[in-house]
């Protein structure tokens, strides 16, 4: 169903909201006419652990197995299924999903999960990268909660995106 009489898009507005005579309504954006180009995004999620718990986790002391490997697989699977998690996202044939873990410099009890997603398609992969990072962080929590219920997940965010009409964007403090 395309735009019909009584509906319109306003440039610079939310792309998933269409104004109608009855008020705003949600919609999945039609990307059929957009060029298929290389798209890439990098997102991160941080986990903060009570003192000493992260050392245990990284030493392989997780009660449910190899924490980062299970979380890596969870992140990849979730990124591939983003269209099922987020209602207005298009299902994409991803060419790449990578999930990596690193301690945050200067914060000994903080672990950052990074997820990179890429495809050649008509729409970006920012949501796929963010869903992958989020799912991997949630999996780390699930696998380590027996060590402490005080673990928090914070700062899920886009670090950079490349491709598409808007080109390259990078978070100011992303490294």
List the one residue out of 71, 50, 74 whose CA is nearest residue 147. Answer: 50
SS3 36: coil
Joined together, the tokens standing for residue 33 give: 């006419």
Report the alpha-carbon distance of residue 111 to residue 89 in Å, rounded: 28
Cβ-based neighbour number of residue 26 at 10 Å: 10
SS3 102: strand
SS3 155: strand
Active site annotation includes 3: no
Report the alpha-carbon distance of residue 16 to residue 57 in Å, rounded: 40
- 161 contacts 126 by C-beta, under 8 angstroms: yes
Task: Return all residues near 107 (Cβ < 8 A) that are at least 6 apart.
Answer: 48
Among 21, 30, 142, 175, the one annotated catalytic: 142
Instruction: List, by residue number, the catalytic residues.
Output: 142
């Amino acid at each position: 169903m395309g735009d019909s009489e009584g509906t319109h898009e306003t440039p610079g507005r939310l792309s998933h909201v269409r104004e109608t005579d009855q008020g705003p309504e949600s919609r999945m954006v039609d990307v059929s006419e957009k060029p298929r180009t290389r798209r890439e995004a990098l997102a991160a999620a941080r986990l903060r652990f009570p003192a000493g718990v992260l050392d245990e986790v990284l030493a392989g002391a997780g009660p449910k197995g190899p924490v980062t490997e299970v979380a890596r697989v969870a992140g990849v699977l979730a990124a591939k299924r983003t269209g099922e998690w987020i209602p207005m996202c298009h299902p994409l044939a991803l060419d790449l999903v990578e999930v990596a873990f690193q301690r945050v410099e200067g914060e000994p009890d903080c672990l950052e999960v990074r997820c990179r997603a890429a495809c050649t398609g008509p729409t970006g992969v920012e949501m796929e990268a963010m869903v992958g990072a989020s799912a991997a962080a949630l999996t780390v929590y699930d696998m380590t909660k027996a060590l402490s219920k005080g673990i928090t997940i914070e700062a899920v965010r886009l670090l950079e995106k490349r491709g598409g009409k808007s080109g390259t964007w990078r978070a100011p403090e992303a490294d």
